[in-house]
């Protein structure tokens, strides 16, 4: 530490043992969870095994046996593809819901204590600088497995294509046949990759909940898979174009729309839509014009529909499982977002940050590291923006808060709307007239996030934030303090916050969490130390390091507020499970009715038409069967809300809800606490910081959560990797890297 420190930090080893709430798990529950886990693994391994077997010659007999064993139903050959490729995905999802339902709430007392620290594949950064960003050991294994599959498939298909070409043909004809054969097989590999592509972008996906990967983290897998899939499909199309050019029939083939076999023109349309999505999603284009990327990405509808027309019904079933789960998630999000939610209150802070407080029902389930998607009708009817929740679920039963940094056009409009003055950009906020009758109406999707609050699973936490990245850590602090005060399961006993900000005007954000008010004498139970680095100021702006305490506020009336809907995939476990099960059963019923009463009697054999019919069955099963469950879910939710004091979707706030420990009060900006280190004109030196922590905390597991730009994540991950491999001594901590940054 250097002389720029305002106060000497008070980081101390834990002196108070955590109090655990012990729960006994019945033998039946443990056995049921074990059986479900084994079943899911067996189904998954068989599903992936079939994909690996298909390219090889030795698999021909095995695959033939499988198709013969599954093709004796009324669905025939199409049913075999459904059972072998789509069925496993849906079956794993149903089993996953059963597993989550019987698992109940997380028992933190069973988590590994700090006395026996160890490395974990998910939290050990292996690759830091590269095209994939920060990659953990588990993620690297997944990347390598996908790479092995693609290389193996291309190699096997190449040998197969060469062996099938007659030697007596001319070189021109041989080349054309080889290119067409490789184009066909690369398309097949792309179809298998497509089976995984939609799984990470199903925000409330039960599969993500099962392995506890939140949507904001899973989006990177969608990006990786998207690049791989589009490379394969692009090469697939180019090989055919080259082959048809050699044969002199390029235009005819591009416009061909066969009744029996692959229809080329729908494939061209699907590929063009995919290329538009791919090009506009590349980092240079996405960062320059995010709206172009967002709106172009809606072409996924065209991409999927015309892909089904291109390959027909049975081939489409290879990738239909992930697509169907995405359709279920998208329809549920649509239903949730139809409800208009009034903003209870808003604050414009001098640092250029807006705090919005949203009404929610008491039974809405989320944790401190959740986030929501917001659409504000007064600003745009089309744009949705993700924001981390800055409040703990224990801050209040009927509201949640988000902090929004004013950076772009949309956020600038938001600030101007709150202050209700079109000249707000040119006039200092403290001089603007406030008009408290301003109203904002929002549509909300979420909240989404980790199935378990993993910040509670470490006794020692390092929270690294850049700028507005402090928002989720405010929720973590509040959550920990509430749990300690109420005696709920909570492992953290050492918390260090490392916060890099550009200007000292941002420091007051920390005071939105009044720690002493939430948990009096909290320092006896948890050690909280804050290191703040002001990078663009060389000295305190005011005497003795104090910062300005004025807060410009526009508070909306809180007499009533339409609560956000609880129809969310990560919400009620039983209803979410019923939604999936009923829709899946409905899909099978519709396919059966279609086969018995239309396809077979009328001799429907056109591939592209049958592909379209399958897409219609998928959509109708979601709308009719899934929609029925959503309707019942909504009625159940309405009845619960009425018991909580809601009438016609409106909650009547009483004085008790106003006065307690809520987020609606004015923020009082304090001077830096004794446990706060405040530095000016410098950035965090993570080598020095982690060395300091190692000496103070000893041989423990230390969870490191980073919320900030990619450069900050890379710096922290690099130091963790270096410390865990090269610098760590026997009595030093093992640091576990976790990212909480949303990067689309």
Is the pLDDT score of 16 beyond 50?
no
pLDDT of residue 550: 41
Segment 403-410 long-range contacts (CB within 8 Å, at least 24 positions apart): 403/353, 403/354, 403/355, 403/468, 403/471, 403/474, 403/509, 403/512, 404/353, 404/354, 404/355, 404/356, 404/468, 405/352, 405/353, 405/467, 405/468, 406/352, 406/353, 406/354, 410/379, 410/380, 410/383, 410/385
At 55, the pLDDT band (50, 70, 90 cuts) reads confident
Token digits of residue 41 = 């693994």
Q: Which fold has domain 340-422+439-540?
A: Elongation Factor Tu (Ef-tu); domain 3 (2.40.30)
Give DSSP secondary structure letters for 176-245. Answer: HHHHHHHHHHHHHHHHHHHHHHTSTT-TT-HHHHHTT--HHHHHHHHHHHHHHHHHHHHHHHHHHHHHHH
pTM here is: 0.87
Is the pLDDT score of 668 beyond 80?
no
User: What digits encode the pLDDT tens for the residues 63-92?
Assistant: 677 767 666 666 777 888 898 899 999 999
Helix (H) or strand (E) holding 275: helix 264-281
pLDDT of residue 717: 92
Task: Count CB neighbours of 67 within 10 A.
Answer: 15
Across 577-596, b (16+ Cβ under 10 Å) vs e yields bbbbbbbbebbbebbeebbe
Contact between residue 699 and residue 732 where contact means Cβ atoms under 8 Å apart = yes
At 644, the pLDDT band (50, 70, 90 cuts) reads low
Rounded to an integer, the average pLDDT of 494-511 is: 87
Chain CA centroid to CA 661, Å: 30
Contact between residue 190 and residue 229 where contact means Cβ atoms under 8 Å apart = yes
Rounded to an integer, the average pLDDT of 449-457 is: 83
User: Among the listed ranges 119-128, 490-499, 510-519, 707-716, which one has the minimum average pLDDT value?
Assistant: 510-519
Q: What residue spans define the domains of the chain?
A: 340-422+439-540
At 704, the pLDDT band (50, 70, 90 cuts) reads very high
CA distance 409 to 407: 7
Q: What is the DSSP letter of 389?
A: B
Tell me: cis bond preceding 459? Omega within 30 of 0 counts: no
Task: Count CB neighbours of 663 within 10 A.
Answer: 23
Phi-psi region of 264 (alpha: psi -120 to 50; beta: other; left: phi over 0): alpha
User: Among the listed ranges 54-68, 135-149, 458-472, which one has the minimum average pLDDT value?
Assistant: 54-68
Q: Give backbone dihedrals phi and psi of 312, rounded to 5 degrees, phi first.
A: 90, 180
Burial of 400 (0-12, 13-18, 19+ CB in 10 A): buried
CA atoms within 13 A on the CB side of 34: 7
User: What digits encode the pLDDT tens for the residues 649-662?
Assistant: 555 544 334 333 44
CA distance 91 to 259: 32
Secondary-structure breakdown of the chain: helix, strand, coil percentages, each rounded to the nearest 5: 55, 15, 35
pLDDT of residue 585: 96
Residue 454's closest CA among 430, 426, 424, 476?
476
Residue 474's closest CA among 503, 511, 444?
511
pLDDT of residue 231: 95
Helix then strand count (H, E) for the chain reads: 24, 18
User: Among the listed ranges 45-49, 102-106, 204-208, 342-346, which one has the minimum average pLDDT value?
Assistant: 102-106
pLDDT of residue 70: 65
Give DSSP secondary structure letters for 512-559. Answer: GS-HHHHSTTGGGT-EEEEEEEETT-SS-SSGGG------EEE----S
Rounded to an integer, the average pLDDT of 548-559 is: 45
* Strand ranges, E, within 630-741: 646-647, 650-652, 676-680, 701-707, 734-739
Alpha-carbon distances of 690 from 694, 722, 735, rounded to whole Å: 6, 11, 9
pLDDT of residue 565: 84
Token digits of residue 53 = 């077997």
User: Among the listed ranges 274-283, 377-386, 625-634, which one has the minimum average pLDDT value?
Assistant: 377-386
Helix (H) or strand (E) holding 560: strand 560-562
Q: Per DSSP, what are the bridge partners of residue 212?
A: none
Rounded to an integer, the average pLDDT of 404-432 is: 65
pLDDT, mean over the chain: 82
Chain CA centroid to CA 712, Å: 20
Task: Count CB neighbours of 45 within 10 A.
Answer: 11
pLDDT of residue 497: 92
Residue with tokens 């703040």, as numbered in its chain:
532
pLDDT of residue 279: 95
CA-angle at 705, arms to 468 and 735, nearest 5°: 150
Task: Count CB neighbours of 43 within 10 A.
Answer: 16
Give DSSP secondary structure letters for 123-144. Answer: G-EEE-SSTT-SEEHHHHHHHH
Token digits of residue 320 = 């239909």
pLDDT of residue 671: 40
pLDDT of residue 744: 60
Rg (CA), the chain: 28
Is the pLDDT score of 200 beyond 50?
yes
Phi-psi region of 104 (alpha: psi -120 to 50; beta: other; left: phi over 0): left
Token digits of residue 403 = 């902090």
pLDDT of residue 566: 84
Whats the size of the chain, residue-wise? 744
């Amino acid at each position: 530490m250097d002389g720029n420190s305002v106060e000497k930090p008070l980081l101390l080893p834990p002196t108070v043992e955590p109090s655990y709430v012990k729960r006994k798990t019945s033998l039946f529950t443990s056995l049921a969870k074990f059986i479900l886990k084994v079943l899911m693994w067996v189904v998954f391994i068989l599903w992936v095994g079939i994909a690996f077997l298909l390219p090889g010659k030795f698999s021909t007999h095995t695959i033939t046996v499988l198709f013969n064993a599954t093709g004796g139903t009324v669905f025939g050959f199409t049913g075999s593809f459904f059972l072998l490729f789509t069925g496993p995905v849906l079956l794993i999802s149903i089993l996953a819901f059963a597993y989550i339902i019987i698992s109940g709430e997380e028992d933190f007392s069973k988590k590994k204590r700090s006395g026996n620290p160890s490395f974990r594949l998910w939290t050990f950064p292996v690759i830091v600088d590269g095209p994939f960003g920060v990659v953990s050991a588990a993620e690297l294994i997944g990347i390598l497995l996908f790479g092995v599959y693609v290389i193996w498939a291309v190699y096997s298909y190449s040998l197969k294509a060469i062996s099938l070409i007659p030697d007596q043909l001319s070189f021109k004809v041989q080349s054309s046949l080889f290119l067409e054969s490789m184009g066909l097989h690369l398309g097949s590999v792309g179809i298998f990759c497509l089976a995984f592509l939609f799984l990470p972008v199903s925000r409330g996906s039960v599969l993500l909940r099962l392995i506890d990967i939140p949507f904001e983290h899973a989006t990177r897998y969608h990006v990786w898979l998207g690049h791989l899939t589009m490379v394969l499909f692009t090469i697939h199309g180019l090989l055919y174009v080259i082959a048809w050019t050699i044969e002199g029939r390029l235009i005819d083939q591009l416009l061909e729309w066969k009744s029996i076999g692959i229809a080329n023109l729908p494939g061209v349309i699907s590929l063009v839509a995919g290329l538009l999505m791919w090009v506009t999603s590349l980092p240079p284009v996405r960062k320059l014009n995010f709206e172009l990327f967002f709106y172009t990405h809606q072409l996924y509808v065209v991409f999927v529909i015309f892909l089904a027309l291109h390959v027909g019904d049975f081939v489409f079933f290879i990738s239909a499982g992930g697509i169907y789960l995405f359709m279920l998630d998208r329809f549920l999000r649509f239903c949730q977002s139809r409800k208009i939610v009034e903003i209870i209150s808003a604050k414009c802070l001098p640092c250029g940050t807006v705090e919005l407080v949203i009404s929610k029902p008491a039974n809405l389930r989320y944790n401190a590291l959740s986030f929501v998607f917001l659409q504000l009708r007064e600003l745009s009817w089309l744009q949705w923006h993700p924001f981390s929740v800055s409040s703990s679920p224990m801050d209040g039963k009927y509201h949640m808060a988000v902090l929004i940094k004013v950076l772009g056009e949309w956020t600038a409009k938001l600030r101007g709307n709150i202050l209700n003055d079109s000249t707000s950009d040119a006039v200092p906020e403290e001089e603007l007239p406030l008009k408290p009758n301003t109203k904002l109406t929002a549509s909300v999707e979420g909240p989404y996030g980790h199935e378990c609050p993993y910040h509670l699973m470490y006794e020692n936490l390092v929270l690294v934030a850049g700028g507005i990245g402090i928002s989720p850590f405010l929720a973590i602090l509040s959550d920990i303090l509430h749990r300690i005060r109420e005696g709920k399961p909570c492992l953290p006993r050492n918390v260090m916050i490392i916060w890099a900000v550009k200007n000292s005007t941002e420091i007051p954000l920390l005071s939105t969490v009044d720690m002493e008010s939430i948990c009096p004498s909290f320092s006896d139970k948890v050690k909280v130390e804050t290191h703040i680095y002001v990078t663009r100021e060389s000295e305190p702006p005011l005497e003795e390091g104090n910062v300005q305490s004025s807060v410009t506020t526009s508070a909306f009336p809180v007499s009533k507020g339409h609560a956000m809907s609880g129809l969310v995939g990560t919400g009620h476990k039983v209803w979410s499970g019923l939604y999936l099960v009923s829709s899946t059963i409905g899909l099978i019923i519709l396919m059966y009715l279609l086969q018995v009463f239309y396809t077979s009697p009328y001799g429907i054999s056109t591939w592209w038409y049958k592909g379209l019919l399958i897409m219609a069955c998928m959509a109708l099963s979601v709308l009719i069967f899934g929609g029925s469950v959503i309707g019942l879910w909504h009625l159940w939710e309405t009845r619960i809300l009425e018991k909580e004091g809601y009438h016609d979707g409106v909650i009547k706030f009483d004085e008790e809800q106003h006065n307690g420990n809520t987020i609606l009060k004015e923020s009082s900006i304090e001077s830096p606490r004794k446990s706060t280190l405040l530095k000016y004109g410098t950035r965090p030196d993570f080598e020095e910081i982690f060395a300091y922590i190692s000496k103070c905390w000893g041989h423990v597991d230390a969870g490191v959560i980073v919320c900030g730009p990619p450069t900050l994540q890379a710096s922290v991950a690099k130091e963790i990797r270096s410390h865990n491999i090269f610098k760590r001594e026997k009595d030093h901590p093992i640091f576990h890297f976790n990212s909480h940054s949303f990067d689309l």
